[in-house]
Structure 1
């Protein structure tokens, strides 16, 4: 029976990816990932290990104290010097406060509870030698990663309703296709709006020359051009057809008069009704069909060349 471990982390993070997941997988642990700011489990599994990744809270301290008799190994991992306030000089004040609140002030409690210190470098091990730290070696979290296909929507401040409309579309396709990532261009509000979805990258709005350079870089697979019915959208031009094609991607376009003059369905792109499930189905189908994407993309390029 595999050993069980609670991995307590603020959020999915590179510290766990480089240092802890390789160790846990090599040691054959069954892992329950717990969020630092979520309520701890009601009861601990007997003889479970607990690893705190960089940070700790009073709620988790209380949980450990209440369950200590049935817990096994306890460890605290850090890949920065979290316990020395002097080392934090020069860092932004807000970040310094976070380090004190979630790490530094818990040092004595960790030692009192017999928590092992795991660190990322010999330098940290030497500095905290009295704690007998264990040094974990980093390993690549990318070795077995699947190649990613980029699904993108490059909106502007006038596309707020379209961003909102796309959220459940992205939610579904990301849950069903591990090979997809999403790239957006949007404001800080858009960044917040999509923060809850994995593998969504939000780029800041940029100048026209910078945007042209962005599209010239390879790596985009499927471009989206949804368009909700509104008086403002009625005056749009089909410029996203040119953007998506320049990016080397195949486009999914709203079945709207704006796009019907340029896009022939299943020939140089897809024309779709503004029904979210239709877009989900089309994205998943195209993601799985490299040949269909390539054919449509080549025909889209040919259509531009003829213009």
Structure 2
């Protein structure tokens, strides 16, 4: 193994949250990233390369792997969603489900014969991939992705009397929009200092119409979303997860977004974020009463918001520190091969 090549629709959060920092870990081989959105495979050297497919393949990537199979040192696939559950579910719109089928499910029939390893983001998702014997690869973001030098949570927003609550949803959380709407309506009615911003696609926008002090924002490209956190402000960020097959496999990546905004997070109790506990991070059960109580508590308690924000940032820091292990199986393989080459006096 001379190098690692990552194929995917990059930049994207999956690469940044799971792969980027691990690839930079000590004793990992050199790597390069190939963005497949242009249709054709970028010019990359297949000789001795270990290929990682980040979520999606494409017909051109499949052809490249087929034609270079004899030169590759191996092929791996990383998955961070229960894609069959998304495709067969109802929360994602039809075109996104069709995209997932074409980019993530259809290629597997051709890719399987080349795969040496499959990684999954959570133990539950790995259990859904029993035939692949998937290894678990939890999120491990680079620190630069969530810590921008303004780490003193107490220093922000002190002069503002208003409280901004945010729900930054993707297009597969329609049920959670419906869950939050009456809760937020009551919070806005009872607390005039509260404003609310929500990321909503065309289907979810209608849920939030006719509420005062609500800003409905269009979902934005990944790089724009990263930039938004460094210019914007969110005091309380909501992360509800309705019980579903898709959410059963979710990893706690929204913690990273909450940390980037230096917000106090409210996370659904469950497998992704842990059960209700007594620490500073708040994880109510998925019922309206519990969520109303927690949100009101945070709106009224500035110190509680700061403590919750710090607790989440500490949890994300632990994720980041885990990146130093790299891809343990690949690193061990690379180190062994490098030792053998040195002992034999070989050069690659």
Greater gyration radius: 1
TM-score for both structures, normalised by structure 2: 0.44
User: What's the TM-score, normalizing by structure 1?
Assistant: 0.50
Higher-strand-fraction structure: 1
Higher-RCO chain (CA-CA 8 Å, sequence separation at least 6): 2
